[in-house]
Amino acid sequence: MTSKRVWIALLLALAGLMVLAACGEPGAAASGLPTLAPTITPIPPATPTDIPAPDPIQLPEVDWDEVEHFRAAMRPAFAGDIDAFVNRNRYYIEASLVFENGVAIVRGAERVRYTNHSADTLAEVVFRLYPNLPALGGRMVIYRAEVDGAPVEPGLSERESVLVLKLADPLEPGESVEVVLEFSVTAERGMNASYGAFGFQQNVFSGPEWYPMLSVYDEGSGWWMDRPTPDGDAVYSESGLYEIFLTVPEDFVVVMSGTELESFPAGDGEMTYHYVSGPMRDSLLVAGPEFGRLTEMVDDITVNVYYWPGDEVGAEEVLQITVDSMRIFNEQFGPYPHAEVDVAETFNFTGIEYPGIVIIADGNWERGNQFMEVTTAHEIAHQWWYGLVGNNQVSQPWLDESLTSYSEYVYARGVYGEKRADEWENGHRDTYNYYRGTGAPDLKLDLPVNAYVDNNYAMIIYRKGPLFFAELEQILGREQFFEALRLYYERHRYEVVRSRDVLEAFEDATGAELDAIFYLWVGEFPGLDPSVIEAQAQQAD
């Protein structure tokens, strides 16, 4: 995503010296950065309305080996990628969405198959109920939980954002377990917590993580159960295949990760949409009755832009930026494998990325809005850096955000040429130097979100981070740099990376020794040559 702080930083960067000259104006924050008047006030989450327990949903049995229909969600050249995900995270979901008495309500049930890919024996399976986090501000309730057909007591913690299901029999490496969860999710009309990611406004429901999501089991540290800070992105997940049947009022337009296979009337003035995905680490649901749509192809990828009434002119520009971004990043980073990518206008503050979909703030849908351009290019770049090459966004935000912010230069270079790209990069450099000039700390990149305070998060992750990749490009030469980036993408597509994976890909592709520069910018991490750390420590003595 691009945070509100980044939004301020972006404005600074775009306005360059003009804004810097205004740095002495009253209201300068403790950090010394000029404080711009906020234009958007977050609405605190309302007390969630209790809804009656829904009627039980009987899910059909799922033949997990049958995966042919998922190939429709891939570009033909990547249809075979589905096969590697037969035994990865699998979701079969049936749900409905209605707007009732000022509340958007999703009622649903999911059959999930989880396979233990670790070397450990597992005593439990853990899901995340993200809407219960204050950062999302909704409410998710579990009505029924079953493991391999037997009812289990749901164990809730971390403000009900963690759901632990104890297993009657330990799950050995390579074994699978099948879970059924029945749930509801609600969002109050007008609700718009934190970044405006999750909520219900102006006849639009924006529902990231609207279903119980499998958490991640990491060998050595166990199931991920952290409570994310309100800053930054909250989700850490692994790729899997989604099959979803969503029923909505027939006038609704549905925007969901993946590809629509079919739709059919469900009676009572409702329609059911049948979606499948390729390997994706989340599924976003946005829906409402008033979306318009523009469509264009980039090679064999369908690009859809969904916009609100009156914003068609902005939508045409968003479509152009998205098409340019897809074309440029396909060439520079490696091919996007999914058949479709969508952009949806929502009430979020800036822009946020989800697999197969990005949402862009409604306030900026106008021709010539440079913030909209940068945000759209940024969120599209996240399809590669987060969507496809995933990471723990809470503990290692630099892995997706810094590389994505660097990708803004790649976009500018591809569309406008070197001069404009240099201007964007120099804008970041000026902003970062200004930040440093205030005495603010030059922190390393590889820190968790909550290690940064005040403006540090935006300045380190979104400004210093892209400058690190620009520095690598400078050192290695552009050709080698992009060879390394493509190797990194190819190796880790659909998977989860850590800092060592970036270093290894860049060293393997170029033959260069890069431990020292990684240590200097990124910090100390497993996989870094210890002699480099020792040498630096001796220098410091």
Q: Which parts of this chain interact with Zn ion (CB under 5 A)?
A: 1, 401, 404
372: tokens are: 């909209």
Place of tokens 């909550």: 450
Residue closer to Zn ion, measured from CB, 186 or 376: 376
Least separation in angstroms between CB 345 and Zn ion: 18
Please list, in sequence order, all residues whose beta carbon lies within 8 angstroms of the beta carbon of residue 513, skipping any fewer than 6 positions away.
507, 529
Least separation in angstroms between CB 466 and Zn ion: 11
Least separation in angstroms between CB 299 and Zn ion: 25
Residue closer to Zn ion, measured from CB, 1 or 284: 1
Residue closer to Zn ion, measured from CB, 184 or 402: 402
CB 328 within 8 A of CB 410: yes
Least separation in angstroms between CB 378 and Zn ion: 6
CB 476 within 8 A of CB 512: yes
Length of the chain: 541
Question: Residue 346 and residue 360: Cα distance in Å, rounded?
Answer: 6
Residue closer to Zn ion, measured from CB, 1 or 374: 1
Which of 89, 79, 123, 74 is CA-nearest to residue 495?
89
Residue closer to Zn ion, measured from CB, 339 or 459: 459
Cα distances (angstroms) measured from residue 343 to each of 58, 152, 332, 333, 461: 33, 39, 21, 20, 24
Residue closer to Zn ion, measured from CB, 211 or 457: 457
Least separation in angstroms between CB 403 and Zn ion: 10
Least separation in angstroms between CB 404 and Zn ion: 5
Residue closer to Zn ion, measured from CB, 203 or 450: 450
Least separation in angstroms between CB 401 and Zn ion: 5
Least separation in angstroms between CB 432 and Zn ion: 17
Least separation in angstroms between CB 2 and Zn ion: 5
Rg of the chain (C-alpha set): 23
Residue closer to Zn ion, measured from CB, 201 or 391: 391
362: tokens are: 């409604």
Residue closer to Zn ion, measured from CB, 353 or 362: 353
Side-chain half-sphere CA neighbours of 527 within 13 A:
16
φ/ψ of residue 440, rounded to 5: -70, 150
How many other C-beta atoms can be found within 10 angstroms of the C-beta atom of residue 113? 20
Question: Residue 332 and residue 411: Cα distance in Å, rounded?
Answer: 10
Residue ranges with strand state E in 236-291: 240-249, 253-256, 259-267, 270-276, 285-288
Which of 234, 349, 343, 230 is CA-nearest to residue 282?
234
Question: Residue 408 and residue 413: Cα distance in Å, rounded?
Answer: 9
Question: Residue 468 and residue 472: Cα distance in Å, rounded?
Answer: 6
